[in-house]
Chain A
Amino acid sequence: MTTGTPRPPVRLPWFDVRLPRMRGDITWIYLWGAPLRVSHWLAALSLVVLFFTGLFISFPVWTSAGEASSHFLMARFRFTHFLAATVIVFAGIIRVYWLFAGNQFERWPALWPFTRRNVHHMFLMLKSYATLDPKIQPHFVGHNPLAQVAYTLIYLGTTVMMVTGFTMYGQANPGGFFYTLFTWVPGMLGGLQGVRVLHHTVAWLYPIFFSIHIYLAIRADYIERAGVVSSMLTGGRFVMSHEEFEDCDLGDHPSVPWHTGEHPTWVKPQ
């Protein structure tokens, strides 16, 4: 190496952070109320537990040798399943409360997004997923309507799971609370086996939903860089002040300082 030769600047590609110079243009908006987030994570946790304990209950693959009196394997799995079931019921109660007390993205009318415009947007979402082209993707502050349909489906499925699950649970105590509450269910589904089949069928909705849901959430974060994944923890996400959204107009409103985090009842529906 000869002295006097100017050294090229060190530019390691991994450290070449390109920050957009947009201070002040980025706003953090508070979207998801605490009850919604609490019910989301309670449901996520209990559904995972429910799915795997449910798998064991339907295929008890581990058999325990020796005296029956020294084991309680299936009983413990069932106990865990029932415990997780009470957690999801609790989460469901919170969610139902928030269907009436939440903001426009959380309230019950949001569960049915089938307006003409939204159907068109669903189509655009599908198209952008199929062509991998994020530019044709419409922008939403809340969920895109396609995601909302998936969530509504999960709410429905979970209701079916609760009803069929507690119907079977009640059978051990004929005349008891759950037995009496759900006497109409076996009749409707052609007997207890019908209830069981439905419970098994809907259960498979969850692994399918989980993989797609988690993937699409991370993907949206990767492409839009708006903090969508953490919004379910912190309650809010980032928006560019010049960004246009399909589901509400943020234009006229002053930026909300990012740590005040007012609940966004101020978001005007379009």
Chain B
Amino acid sequence: MDGSTLGEHLEERGVTRRSFVEFCTEMAVILGLGSAAAPSVANALATQKRPTVIWLEMQECTGCVESVLRTEAPTIGDLVLDVVSLDYSDTLMAAAGHAAEKAKAESMAKNKGSYILIVTGSVPTKEDGIYCTLAGKTIRSHLEEAAEGAAAIIALGACAHWGSVQAARPNPTGAVGVRDIIKNKPIINIAGCPPIGDVVTATVVHFLTFGRLPSMDREGRPLFAYGNRIHDQCSRRAHFDAGQYVENFDDDNARRGWCLYQVGCKGPATYSPCPIVQWNQRTSWPIGAGHPCIGCTEPYFWDTMSPFYQRLPEVGGFGVEKRVDTIGASLAIGAAAGVAAHAGMTVLHQIRARKSSKQLPEHDAAAQEDSNNG
């Protein structure tokens, strides 16, 4: 089976041409190539050698693996067995312990320079990285070793992207993302906590079809998926523009499906394909289900997007945490009150000063005398 092209391999496994083209169509659409590109994608894929994938799990919760298992098409069987040759994955492989490590070392040596490295989880950097170790070595050295011979790295999920929850303030383990450790390899960030599985599959398909990673935004996220804000693709947007907002989670407006802006939706600051690709075989997505977006595809969202049910973060250092708008409004009212008080005092002072002619400014006093004399 090794060394066969993807097409041959699928044929062997009894996958019909029809379902393969269906899969290719779906991927072409997600990639933004349009369904017309499906035959080209199918051709490119069918003649490809099955790519070897090493999947490294670091400091993480395995939620990203879960999410990829929920990819609609291909299902887990298709992804792992049909499209890629997954040679190493803690969670999915049957082998364990020394056997697993040996399989990884062999595969890495054999496919040096050509395998895809998928990474989930962050790298702890404090105390020499002892907060996450595997087979007696720190996860950082595992990552560096595996990255050495990789053709490209897919940093899957917020942890691998920038560190996610363990990197939130105060970041006790010094967690960082893959891009902070590996500098000399092409890295693509599939952002999200977790990301949508279809996006991972589509990225792999893009890599196989074109031989390079898809074009990315400033965060290293694939543009085909993260090219637009949630807010600009949202099914509740008409309510936003109309000025119709949910004010409480149990109010009538929530029942009517109005916009979640007032209850803290971060859709206006978040780039993600959620509204279009959706989750769990296109069942729904957070905003569709009535929960405001928490902005999980944006870096440092645990710090910058929280509190999740308010529009703006709170500012510390005022005893009680306050929003900038509360502070600003108090200052503005304070300034107006100060102005009013000062104005009152100035008028009183001037009236008193002008009453006594001695206190008049010189020319005024002179004028006064003048007019009195005249």
* Residues on A facing B (Cβ under 8 Å): 18-22, 58-60, 62-65, 68-75, 77, 129, 132, 135, 168, 171-172, 174-175, 183, 186-187, 190-194, 196-197, 200-201, 203-204, 207-208, 211-212, 215, 219, 222-223, 240, 242
Contacts and interface: CB of A to CB of B under 8 A. Distances in A.
12 contacts: A18-B371, A58-B325, A63-B244, A174-B227, A174-B271, A192-B268, A197-B313, A204-B327, A204-B331, A208-B335, A212-B339, A215-B343
Nearest to B295: A193
B242 interface: yes
Contacts of B179: none
Interface in B260-276: 261-262, 266, 268-271
B181 interface: no
Contact of A191 (B244, B269, B311, B345): B269
A201 B227 contact: no
B243 A69 contact: no
A194 B304 contact: yes
Chain A interface, DSSP helix/strand/loop, else mixed: helix
A174 B224 CA distance: 12
B139 to A, nearest CB: 26
Contact of B304 (A171, A190, A201, A215): A190
B96 interface: no
A68 B239 contact: yes
B309 interface: no
A20 B366 CA distance: 8
B229 interface: yes
A208 B244 contact: no
Nearest to B343: A215
B91 to A, nearest CB: 31
Interface string B296-339: 00111101110000011100000000001101110110011001
Given A132-B349, A203-B328, A18 B241 contact: no
A233 to B, nearest CB: 22
Interface in B332-374: 332, 335-336, 339, 342-343, 345-347, 349-350, 361, 363-364, 366-368, 370-371
Interface residues of B, number: 61
Contacts of B255: none
A64 B242 CA distance: 7
A190 B300 contact: yes
A245 to B, nearest CB: 15
B278 interface: no
Contact of B242 (A74, A186, A192, A208): A74
Contacts of A197: 312-313, 324
A22 B363 contact: yes
Most chain B CB atoms below 10 A, which of A135, A175, A194, A208: A208
Nearest to B323: A200
A75 B231 CA distance: 13
A72 B328 contact: no
A212 B243 CA distance: 34
A215 B346 CA distance: 11
Given A58-B312, A63-B243, A74-B241, 17 more contacts: A19-B367, A19-B371, A68-B238, A72-B241, A72-B243, A73-B241, A129-B342, A174-B217, A192-B270, A193-B295, A197-B312, A197-B313, A204-B328, A204-B331, A207-B332, A211-B335, A211-B336
